[in-house]
Structure 1
Amino acid sequence: MGRKVIIAVATLNQWALDFDGNRERILESILEAKEYGAAFRTGPELEICGYSCEDHFYESDTFLHSWEVLLELLVAPLCKDILIDVGMPIMHKNVAYNCRVVFLNQKILLIRPKLYMCDDGNYRESRWFSGWRKLRQTEDYHLPRMIASVTGQNVVPFGDAVISTKDTCIGFEVCEELWNPESSHIAMGLDGVEIFCNASGSYTELRKAYIVADLVKNATYKSGGCYIFSNLRGCDGQRIYFNGASCIALNGNILNYSKQFALQEVEVITATIDLEDIRAYRNSLRSRSHLASEKPCYPRIITDFSLSPEHDTTLPIATPIEWKYLRPEEEIAQGPACWLWDYLRRSGQGGFFLPLSGGVDSSSTALIVYSMCHMVINSIHQGDEKVLSDIRKILADPDYIPTQPSELCNRLLVTCYMGTENSSKETKQRAATLAAQIGSYHMYIAIDRAVSATLEIFSTVTGLFPKYATKGGCARQNLALQNIQARLRMVLSYLFAQLMLWVRGRPGGLLVLGSANVDEALRGYMTKYDCSSADINPIGGISKTDLRLFLNYVKEKFNIPIIGEIVSALPTAELEPLCDGQIAQTDEEDMGMTYAELSAFGKLRKQEKCGPFSMYCKLVQTWSNSYSPKEVAEKVKHFFRCYAINRHKMTVLTPAYHTEGYSPDDNRYDHRPFLYRANWSWQFRAIDKQVEYQLSVQQAATSRINKNCNRKLDSVSRTRTGIHV
């Protein structure tokens, strides 16, 4: 009796609408699965067309080309004698479904549509697909003629069914179904399904990697079985990064898992399991067995195929392993770097241009590029021919072989310190030193003449010349003078990005990198269309606090001493005149709140769904040791005034790598208005009433305490004088 089964799970870096590339990566994963000896291969969600096609799912072309790719998979000799599960969109009775297609030896066994759509966070699946609500039911699906001519089938089962082989039973979930409170794996497990496959498109957020592992382990801990989770990896055309971490679990233990971040486009992991381990585990759970005996059945697709070899019982089975999670600073070092790599090689550009100010934010962006260079070098040293081919295309050098991260960084990254009379020598020196230590091609530009020329145009037209506040100007003049510096930096960034490769004798242009963090975006502490406006922003979803963690990490990892000075320096925009050569302007003073407070506001506003009043009610307790109720109220009001006034800036935010759960990214992750009543009159009155009530309660409590103290003092005094009541 055959018991040992080798399962193969593919992690793929697919690209929306890249049907050629997607097909090749699928075939490569099937080849690797067969080389490992696997009889069953599963892959990630919508792997044929790419997950992020979005409104292209309204186009019949997307469905047609997906069928054409499936046809090539069906007829490929490589796909013979292995059970294959792939993902694609399918139209059934004029309704679009997100489906799994299971086939074997040019026969489609089952089309299994997704049951539950994901519509939170960055997901909008119900915009394009419907969930299959006919649970434990199938219908006939009439195959396209080009498919039927190969398979010899006119109709195949479409719906909620399972595959029954000679030796086991396989069921399917698609992404959200693992997270859903009514996950199918429990019902399928009670009906004897032993192997569960989940095809997923799950994206990364900081500190969230453990969630998938916990869900997968728990899916089999209570009811036994083998759970196979296959995830996408990479940037397939959006702000999100699919974080890999495919895995295989058995009876509540992880047996194998793929890397969370990597430049590798195809990674196949396998595990050898003994089906008898599932059966023994389940039989020992007596309450489960009693429950299973009364549950309804799933339609079974009987398949004359066995996953296990008939006589080979010598295969060593996989043993449980511990999942080693990356720390947040490691996730920042690797995730945005991989995202930048995907964007760079797929955009056809020749590198990056970064305005480098010498502060935490722009330095973090530069170091993420440097981390990417390390990953490229490591992948090439490990024999990844695809990475080597891509870097040669990017640099237009067919014979190039990178040797050192700093040497590669010099070819890929151009940094520029754009100074004015308001810039300090300290920030200029920090920028130059960092550039030297990572190897970027660095320049210094004094932009005072450009600022003066622009202001001269204004003065010629109006007859007026604005002044800084320190020189007698009003707040409007002061802000306008700051903004013109910031906006000119953006204009110059694009000029240099377009022409620097021409200057260096190379074809193409550079992608402009932004460096505004998630807290500054939330507060609106940026100039609209300043140098925070760019092509892409690798730190736009990361808090200032986490960026400092990241900087301290790479300081040691890459041995970059200047980072210590960068982290310890006060954050400053350097847009106002210096005072005796020293910085007179700091970010936190300008904002009227600290970065730590901003993170607290952001998490309560987005993740805890708090408006002004409920945010005050939470913070008045959380911050009770630091601030009075009135002070908390003023801080909350100040945040919401700034948020309302600056919310319009979110409509033009540079596309950023998503990683933080309170990102204010307009109309993508955060669906809120961009025009508000900035005085929040009703909400702020509610806060004021609550403050008055709390103060009255505190005063009453203080009064009671004082009275009690007075009574005790009177009692002590009478006792001492010999007077007794």
Structure 2
Amino acid sequence: MTRKCVLATCQLNQWVLDYDGNRDRIIEAIKTVKAANATLILTPELCIPGYGLLDHWLENDVYAHSWDIAAEIIACPDCQDIIIDLGLPIQHRGCNYNARLIALNGEVLAIRPKLDLCNDGNFREMRYFTPWPRGRFEEYALPEVVQALPRQQKRCPIGECAIEALDGSFASETCEELWTPNSPHASYSLAGIEIVLNSSGSHHELRKLDARINLIKEATAKTGGVYLYSNQRGCDGDRLYYDGCALIMSNGEVLAQGSQFSLRDVEVQTAIVDLDSIWAHRTSRSRGMQANEPSVQKLKRIPVDFRLCHPSLTLLTRPTEPREPRYHLPVEEIALGPACWLWDYLRRSKAAGFLVPLSGGIDSCATATIVYSMCRLVVSEMQAGNEAVLADAKRLYGEGFSANITAKQMCNKIFSTVFMGMQQQSSKETRTRAKELSAAIGAHHIDTNIDTMVQSLHTLVADTLGFEPKFKVHGGTQSENLALQNFQSRSRMVLAYALGQLIPHSRGGAGGLLILGSANVDECLRGYLTKYDCSSADINPIGGISKTDLKRFIKWAETAFELPVLQQFLDATPTAELEPITHDYVQSDEADMGFTYDELSILGRLRKTFKLGTVGLFQHLVAEWSERMKPRDVYQKVRDFMYYYAVNRHKMTTMTPGLYLESYTPDDNRFDLRPFLYPRFTFEHRKIEGMLKTMEEGEAGVNGA
């Protein structure tokens, strides 16, 4: 008789500390998969309290509340006759652990703590949790809330273990453990375990999904077996977007894959798996010899009187057919990820909508286009009958709401754009582009000038200091020129917040608008923005996206969203328009910065992702850029980059929270933990000067010969 079973995984849009909501979403997932005859369900990492609690993990309340919810779930009548793998934090013998709770019919079968903690990039798990030692296995005293359940269970096993049902076996690994060189799934497979469960809190990053899928493919292709992957999806309260994509794989092939971007709070994946099909992948003699290593066979096994295989699955039942994995293009990821993140933020904050200062440039254009993408997703989900989205959309839209509204109508209700120009600095072209884009997406648009605000500040400063500051085109110094530009940009921030608070009231509504920032990752890296100007906002959906990727996104959206106006933004020269326009001068971003945006992307990625310092940057780029730049010119680029990075680093300490999407984001608040007061890198400069001297002397010798 073949051993066929229905296995299930899920992706849940959990929210930090939303215990009731998180419980309800977990139970909804369990009910859904039970209807499909599933006998095992995997849920995301730390799904009971939510993943991104940060320093809330240091509070005893979180552990107590998590157990309260766990007890409610395992005792729920809808959650019986199925093995449930839940994520929650636990305390044991004076330590905190990120753990899995495996339960069946109101009984805790085992607790499996996380072995390898994620402690780099966006994650600081070792600040809160202790890694569980491999092979350790002991007893855990269950809290009173579990002891009070009908089974009156007082203790359960805790540690690295496998569950042996009557007709199959499984073991858990958690998120980071998949990415480590010594992943537990390898030894579990050698030990004969047929199903590996991976609960995850994996964040979205552009172009990352293929790496994740390849790791899971490799995990089952070598020695065979089934791999279930569950992930959180959505904004759980921080700068990350978790991108779901729950997976079921068998013997290196994808059987089921969840969506990566969606407004659905609960999504499940099931597959019919024949456990006997694993045997053909495990007949290698070399594998058999490795399987007999004493360390492999030490894995503790917990027997459970339960069948994974359902009696309705007969010889005639066909297992789930393999399918090709599905990937989004990076431009689609930009269109969908930030849009989903914005919707979660908007609906959970209970704000009335968004406002963005629309400059007529590519960055604010991209921000506005992403909001329009969000509205398209909302309308699509309403048409599909998503009750949760319908309820939120109705609240936001207000009077006149209909389930048949268009994306442009939704955009008009919840999104305001404002062009804040200056008579001498703002060109007709930028003003027109802003107006036409707003009309194309349906946004409520305001076109105004801020000359009176800026002139009032100018007059006050001149009277206070006793001299009249001038722009450089009028003979002013660099300090005067910069100060006058900042008068404008900071005035725009003040007006944006004033309008954000009052626009809903002026349109007959209530509440306030969230102000969106639109500084891209390269400008943040270079510090090419004014502290407390329009970069100061409530949230920034493009704060982790490079200018290069934003341009590609806008080019794609021109066709995908049927917005021909976007071509104008691609054709325009990037400019802040903070200096007066003359007959022979128009301010240019790339000229001001001394770098192209492509160069900044390369420098940023080498600095952060590849962890290169000043000398390392030069050594790498002197070869990479050798065909278009002399070694001394490369040195000047590196020297200038590190100078501006250092002197502007303080800006990142107050930067608007931006959605993390790029591996070299300079966000000081979470990701880039570097100082903000630097020396002038004189030691590094001496080393590079020595290298240049050697290179130039060698070149002179060759030419002389």
TM-score tier, shorter chain, comes to: over 0.9
Amino acid at match of 1:19: Y
SS in 2 for 1:232: strand
Cα deviation per residue 1:269-328 (whole Å; 9 max; x = unaligned)?
Answer: 011110100123212x22112221233231111100001024632322012111121111
Instruction: Give the structure 2 partner of residue 408 of structure 1.
Output: 410
1:111 Cα shift?
0.5
Counterpart CA distance in 1 for 2:312 and 2:207 is: 45
Amino acid at match of 1:307: L
Cα deviation per residue 1:163-215 (whole Å; 9 max; x = unaligned)?
Answer: 00000111000101101111111111111110000000000111111011101
Counterpart CA distance in 1 for 2:426 and 2:136 is: 69
Amino acid at match of 1:392: K
SS in 2 for 1:100: strand
Q: 1:139/1:208 Cα in 2 relative to 1: closer, same or farther (>3 Å)?
A: same
Instruction: Give the structure 2 partner of residue 210 of structure 1.
Output: 210
Residue 511 (str. 1) matches residue 514 (str. 2) = yes
Instruction: Give the structure 2 partner of residue 533 of structure 1.
Output: 536
Maintained 8 Å contact 1:357/1:428: yes
2:592 to 583, 590, 593: 590
Q: Highest Rg: 1 or 2?
A: 1
Counterpart CA distance in 2 for 1:479 and 1:559 is: 39
Counterpart CA distance in 2 for 1:310 and 1:596 is: 59
Residues 307-322 of structure 1 aligned to structure 2 (within 5 Å): 307-310=308-311, 312-313=313-314, 314-322=316-324
1:461 to 461, 464, 479: 464
Maintained 8 Å contact 2:37/2:310: no
Give the root-mean-square deviation of aligned CA atoms: 1.2
Maintained 8 Å contact 1:101/1:110: yes
Maintained 8 Å contact 2:383/2:404: no
SS in 1 for 2:480: helix
Counterpart CA distance in 2 for 1:505 and 1:66 is: 42
Maintained 8 Å contact 2:2/2:276: no
Residue 558 (str. 1) matches residue 558 (str. 2) = no
Counterpart CA distance in 2 for 1:661 and 1:269 is: 29
Counterpart CA distance in 1 for 2:117 and 2:129 is: 8
Residues 32-71 of structure 1 aligned to structure 2 (within 5 Å): 32-71=32-71
Counterpart CA distance in 1 for 2:590 and 2:136 is: 60
Amino acid at match of 1:692: K
Counterpart CA distance in 1 for 2:585 and 2:272 is: 63
1:154 Cα shift?
1.2
Counterpart CA distance in 2 for 1:114 and 1:348 is: 35
Amino acid at match of 1:186: A
Instruction: Give the structure 2 partner of residue 144 of structure 1.
Output: 143
Maintained 8 Å contact 1:137/1:299: no
SS in 2 for 1:110: strand
Residue 439 (str. 1) matches residue 438 (str. 2) = no
Counterpart CA distance in 1 for 2:136 and 2:685 is: 54
Instruction: Give the structure 2 partner of residue 289 of structure 1.
Output: 288
Maintained 8 Å contact 1:574/1:583: no
Counterpart CA distance in 2 for 1:408 and 1:394 is: 9
Cα deviation per residue 1:147-166 (whole Å; 9 max; x = unaligned)?
Answer: 11213211100111110000
1:373 to 372, 375, 386: 375
Residue 269 (str. 1) matches residue 253 (str. 2) = no
Counterpart CA distance in 1 for 2:312 and 2:670 is: 54
Cα deviation per residue 1:658-709 (whole Å; 9 max; x = unaligned)?
Answer: 00010000141001100011x31111111111111111111122233xxxxx
1:352 to 334, 351, 354: 354
Residue 89 (str. 1) matches residue 89 (str. 2) = yes
SS in 2 for 1:593: coil
How many residues matched?
A: 700
Residues 604-643 of structure 1 aligned to structure 2 (within 5 Å): 604-643=606-645
Maintained 8 Å contact 1:10/1:43: yes
Q: TM-score, normalised by structure 2?
A: 0.98
Counterpart CA distance in 2 for 1:287 and 1:245 is: 34
Instruction: Give the structure 2 partner of residue 657 of structure 1.
Output: 659
Instruction: Give the structure 1 partner of residue 173 of structure 2.
Output: 173
Counterpart CA distance in 1 for 2:418 and 2:404 is: 23
Residue 188 (str. 1) matches residue 206 (str. 2) = no
Cα deviation per residue 1:511-568 (whole Å; 9 max; x = unaligned)?
Answer: 0000000000000000000001100000000000000000011100111111111011
Maintained 8 Å contact 2:8/2:40: yes
Amino acid at match of 1:585: Q
Q: Which runs of 5+ in 2 are unaligned?
A: none
Counterpart CA distance in 2 for 1:328 and 1:553 is: 10
1:352 Cα shift?
0.2
Cα deviation per residue 1:482-536 (whole Å; 9 max; x = unaligned)?
Answer: 0010000000000000010010111110000000000000000000000011000
1:396 Cα shift?
4.3
Q: Which runs of 5+ in 1 are unaligned?
A: 705-725
SS in 2 for 1:9: strand
Instruction: Give the structure 2 partner of residue 156 of structure 1.
Output: 156
Instruction: Give the structure 2 partner of residue 687 of structure 1.
Output: 688
SS in 2 for 1:51: coil
Maintained 8 Å contact 1:355/1:415: yes
Q: TM-score, normalised by structure 1?
A: 0.95
Maintained 8 Å contact 1:2/1:309: no
Maintained 8 Å contact 2:234/2:344: yes
Maintained 8 Å contact 1:2/1:311: no
Maintained 8 Å contact 1:114/1:174: yes
Amino acid at match of 1:57: W
SS in 2 for 1:685: helix
Residue 332 (str. 1) matches residue 337 (str. 2) = no
Instruction: Give the structure 1 partner of residue 98 of structure 2.
Output: 98
